[in-house]
Amino acid sequence: MVGNSIPQLDVEIPELSQVAFVVEDLEDGMDRFEGLLGVGPWQVYRFEPPALTDRTFRGESHEYSMRLALAQLGETMFELIEPLEGPSIYTEHLDEHGEGLHHVACFAFDDPHAVIESFEEAGMPVIQSGNFDGVEYWYFDTADELNGTIFETAANVDSIPEPEMTYPE
């Protein structure tokens, strides 16, 4: 039974596309996940201007940047995020919880903009968003409902550009 205080969404999650962790140091994080769990190789990206545009944080236009690494484990993408500049949901997580699980994501929605509307109507607004070279992403304020975990969706994920590097090379 669902409690009365938990918002009800008319959204069905077709898959869990991604599991993401915030780390203090990206190379160290990649080494740990590869060494302990065999996750890798990693594709490394810098999310910063000019490729990173339309950034928002807590409802306002805001500047932030990060490095991230992506690796596939079966059908699920693993992501590690190292914040670089500016306050963000990543720096908040490190300050409040340290390194660890940050968000889960689904990139398989037919209409991600309808998903945004559903979350916002249920009282879980977008808390951070941006556009990385045509890949739009949105994080929702679900930490209270999902035991500290944020939910993300994105559009045009298949068009992510080539990585800055692959690790290990």
What pLDDT sits at residue 143?
A: 94
Has residue 4 been placed in a domain?
Answer: no
Is the separation of the CB atoms in 142 and 92 below 8 Å?
no
What is the full per-residue pLDDT of the chain (169 aa) written as tens digits? Answer: 445 677 888 899 999 999 999 999 999 999 999 999 999 999 999 999 999 999 999 999 999 999 999 999 999 999 999 999 999 999 999 999 999 999 999 999 999 999 999 999 999 999 999 999 999 999 999 999 999 999 999 999 999 999 999 998 7
What pLDDT sits at residue 1?
A: 40
Has residue 165 been placed in a domain?
Answer: no
Has residue 43 been placed in a domain?
Answer: yes
Q: The CATH number of the domain where 88 resides is what? A: 3.10.180.10
What pLDDT sits at residue 9?
A: 87
Say how many domains are in the chain: 1
Has residue 3 been placed in a domain?
Answer: no
State which residues form the domain around 105. 18-159
Has residue 50 been placed in a domain?
Answer: yes
Has residue 101 been placed in a domain?
Answer: yes
* β-strand pairing of 76-85 with 18-22: parallel
Has residue 126 been placed in a domain?
Answer: yes
Has residue 82 been placed in a domain?
Answer: yes
State the DSSP string of 36-56: HH----EEEEEE-TTTEEEEE
State the DSSP string of 53-117: EEEEETTEE---EEEEEEEEETTEEEEEEEEEES--HHHHHHHHH-SEEEEEEE---S-HHHHHH
